[in-house]
């Protein structure tokens, strides 16, 4: 249950954000810190030992923008970034924006064929990559039909920055002008370029970071989620920069051991994870103790957080995990649990500045408590998908965007996720949420992770099938464990919801954001 509802100071939640006729978002996120006397404060701290002050950040962003300007790229040219979580990501991203270009961060876990598609789709003018990704970036450039004007490693780009001017006037852009792109995961087809405007990062920072989480300049941020996708971009870059805080960057895979070490060493106050990582961390806590005393907020997104994980985390740490939902198209979290106003098993309530509606198959709003498709409207919604008018028209209508998620609102006004609309099961003629079944399964002491998909029985009727990752030391898979899991589900779930089959696996397929790719499990079902 929610502890209590906190009233938010209206002075930090304006009814609407107003922007001047000329607005370049690099100015409030980067340049203003010098005028506000923050030049000597550390803006970025890396786990490899590098500290970057706000003064150094401003200088290097200007140098990066001048390097791009010297390439004589046309205004609005796309700069693709296959860049790890490091200061160079900040320099290129903000330097491009300040100089009037459009940075496009890409998933660093993708392969050459994926990068080749984006090079062609975006008609990239420049491609930059961290040296670690050369084995995928270079073949991608060779395979692409489009030939970028410039392509180089970030090391080569940084060398050019050393000789560039440290002064740069911001391009005269507007709040609604194209600012940066993020590509969707492509889980429902080819990836789409989500076009974000200069205003969008301001909206998410003001309404979620400040108004919902209460972030201040005293906060130190550590995001296990990487900068290349929307959730990590806010956590690890825009929120600390907007508030004048400090970002801790880690460029390797975020294992439980690594994240605990970073929290102990760098003492972040806000930690951003994903449900699968929280589950693994809780498993690690069963055999060791870790110092998490610096944390005041733990945030989750990327996949619905099972109530059991929140309960166990709070028992171990004293802190709730503040779950929320965000999308690439809306940039960050728009429905969230908040400090003092959270409820296990839900995504929370609407973030200020956003509207939501849940509609049925007829497109009309459904009564409270009934499931339907979630649509959102707010100031950070993309203007369009790049070069995809038909997909834009299908997803965006009168400022509302279809999220692709099925939700309902409970009696307390909290939004409850039932899963992706494509993942919903109809069992015995009744809609069934895989998320509800998965949440019950992971509450069993032997289960680390679970995913539920539909599978046809001998009569061709769909029933739930569970894919299970067991904890180390758990009983071996077999009829006894399957019976125990079924009885565990039967105790709290309606009869049609408990799994009819079990598959025990070492891991589950996931996106870079930690979302379980149920469609891959469905494709594997026989």
Tokens standing for residue 373: 């498709």
The model's pTM: 0.85
| Listed residue (238, 235, 204) closest to 330, CA to CA | 204
Torsion on CA atoms 221, 225, 227, 232, rounded to nearest 10: -70
Going by C-beta distance under 8 Å and a sequence separation of 6 or more, which residues neighbour residue 488? 440, 441, 443, 444
Q: What is the pLDDT of residue 369?
A: 96
pLDDT digits (tens, 9 = 90+) for 79-138: 999 999 999 999 999 999 999 999 999 999 888 988 999 999 999 999 999 999 999 999
Give the SS3 label for residue 409: strand
Q: What is the pLDDT of residue 525?
A: 57
Q: What is the pLDDT of residue 1?
A: 29
Q: What is the pLDDT of residue 189?
A: 57
CA angle (296, 274, 109) in 5-degree steps = 130
Q: Is the dihedral of CA 489, 491, 303, 457 positive or negative?
A: positive
Q: What is the CATH number of domain 424-524?
A: 3.30.300.30
Q: What does the alpha-carbon distance between residue 64 and residue 70 come to, in Å, rounded to a whole number? A: 10
Q: How many CB atoms lie within 10 A of CB 152?
A: 15
| Listed residue (363, 379, 493) closest to 432, CA to CA | 493
3-state SS, 297-324, equals: EEEECCCCCCHHHHHHHHHHHCCCEEEE
Owner of token pair 């030391």: 473
Q: What is the pLDDT of residue 14?
A: 43
Ranges under pLDDT 50 in the chain? 1-15, 187-188, 526
3-state SS, 169-235, equals: CCCCCCCCCEEEEEECCCCCCCCCEEEEECCHHHHHHHHHHHCCCCCCCCCEEEECCCCCCHHHHHH
Q: Which residues pair with 248 in a beta bridge?
A: 45, 222
The values of phi and psi at residue 285, to 5°, are -70, -15
CB-CB contact of 464 with 434 (8 Å): yes
Q: What does the alpha-carbon distance between residue 61 and residue 64 come to, in Å, rounded to a whole number? A: 5
């Amino acid at each position: 249950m929610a502890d209590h509802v906190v009233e938010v100071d209206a002075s930090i939640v304006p009814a609407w954000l107003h922007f001047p006729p000329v607005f370049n978002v690099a100015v409030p996120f980067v340049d203003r810190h010098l005028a506000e006397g923050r030049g000597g404060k550390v803006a970025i701290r890396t786990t490899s030992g590098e500290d970057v002050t706000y003064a150094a950040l401003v200088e290097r962003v200007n140098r990066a923008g001048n390097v791009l300007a010297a390439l004589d790229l046309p205004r609005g040219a796309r700069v693709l970034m296959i860049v790890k979580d490091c200061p160079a990501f900040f320099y290129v991203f903000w330097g491009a924006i300040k100089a009037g270009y459009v940075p496009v961060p890409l998933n660093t876990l993708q392969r050459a064929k994926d990068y080749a598609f984006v090079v062609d789709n975006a008609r990239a003018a420049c491609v930059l990559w961290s040296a670690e990704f050369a084995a995928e970036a270079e073949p991608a450039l060779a395979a692409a039909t489009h030939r970028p004007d410039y392509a180089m490693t970030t090391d080569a780009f940084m060398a050019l920055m050393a000789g560039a001017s440290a002064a740069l006037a911001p391009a005269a852009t507007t709040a609604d002008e194209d600012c940066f792109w993020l590509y969707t995961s492509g889980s429902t087809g080819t990836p789409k370029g989500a076009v974000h405007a200069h205003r969008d990062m301001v909206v998410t920072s003001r309404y979620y970071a400040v108004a919902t989480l209460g972030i201040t300049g005293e906060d130190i941020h550590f995001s296990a989620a990487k900068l290349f996708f929307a959730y990590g971009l806010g956590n690890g870059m825009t929120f600390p920069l907007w508030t004048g805080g400090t970002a801790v960057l880690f460029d390797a895979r975020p294992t439980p051991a690594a994240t605990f070490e970073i929290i102990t060493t760098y003492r972040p106050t806000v930690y951003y994870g994903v449900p699968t990582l929280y589950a693994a961390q809780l498993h690690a806590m069963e055999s060791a103790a870790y110092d998490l005393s610096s944390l005041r907020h733990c945030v989750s997104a990327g996949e619905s957080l099972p109530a059991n994980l929140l309960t166990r985390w709070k028992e171990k740490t004293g802190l709730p995990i503040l779950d929320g939902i965000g999308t690439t198209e809306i940039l960050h979290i728009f429905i969230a649990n908040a400090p003092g106003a959270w409820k296990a098993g839900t995504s929370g309530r609407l973030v200020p500045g956003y509207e939501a509606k849940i509609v049925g198959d007829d497109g009309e709003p459904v009564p409270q408590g009934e499931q339907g498709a979630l649509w959102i409207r707010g100031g950070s919604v993309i203007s369009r998908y790049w070069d995809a008018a038909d997909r834009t028209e299908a997803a965006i209508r009168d400022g509302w965007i279809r999220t692709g998620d099925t939700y309902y609102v409970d009696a307390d006004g909290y939004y409850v996720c039932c899963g992706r609309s494509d993942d919903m099961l109809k069992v015995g003629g009744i809609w069934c949420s895989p998320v509800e079944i998965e949440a019950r399964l992971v509450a069993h002491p032997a289960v680390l992770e679970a995913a539920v998909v539909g599978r046809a029985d001998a009569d061709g009727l769909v029933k739930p099938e569970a894919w299970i990752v067991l904890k180390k030391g758990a009983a071996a898979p077999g009829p006894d464990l399957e019976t125990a899991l079924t009885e565990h589900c039967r105790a709290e779930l309606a009869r049609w919801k408990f799994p009819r089959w079990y598959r025990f696996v070492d891991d589950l397929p996931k996106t870079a954001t930690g979302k379980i790719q149920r469609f891959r499990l469905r494709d594997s079902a026989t």
